[in-house]
Amino acid sequence: MRLFLLPLLFIPLLAACGEQGPVASTPRAPSRPAAHSSVPVAPRRQPVPAPVVHAAPGLEGVIGARAGELARLFGPPRLDVQEGDARKLQFVGPACVLDVYLYPQGTGAEVRATYVDARRSTDARDVDRAACVAALRRR
């Protein structure tokens, strides 16, 4: 008899899995049929803004330079990282590490140095950018 009553215990669980009543539907606004065109429309491209050039005394010959010019000035870069249309070159000497960031000056233009960052080789503390450029030029 107990085996007969055991399945009756599962009836409430099965009932909970059933339909839960009417679901309220949200009214939708009538939609207009899409206009079909045989000519595909290309997405609009936003014009590339010109990068901000951070020129400062002592950075002459670096800001505005191309990658090849920088390699002739400081030697081969330790790092050469391409990211999208931008590029980062890293030059290292005993006194400092110089990161040079190159960006295109317009759509389709060649990348040129627009910003430099300098830090000490020993503890990565910021140093004067012009002094680092001068130290790396002397090598």
The set of residues, in sequence order, having a beta carbon less than 8 Å from that of 77 and lying 6+ positions away, is 70, 71, 89, 90, 91
Which CATH code fits 67-137?
Answer: 3.10.450
Q: What is the pLDDT along the chain (139 residues), one digit of tens a residue?
A: 555 555 555 565 555 555 555 555 555 555 555 555 555 555 555 555 555 555 566 688 899 999 999 999 999 999 999 988 899 999 999 989 999 999 987 767 789 999 999 999 999 999 999 999 999 986 6
Where exactly are the structural domains of the chain? 67-137
Cut 0.85: pTM above it: no
pLDDT of the residue at 7: 59
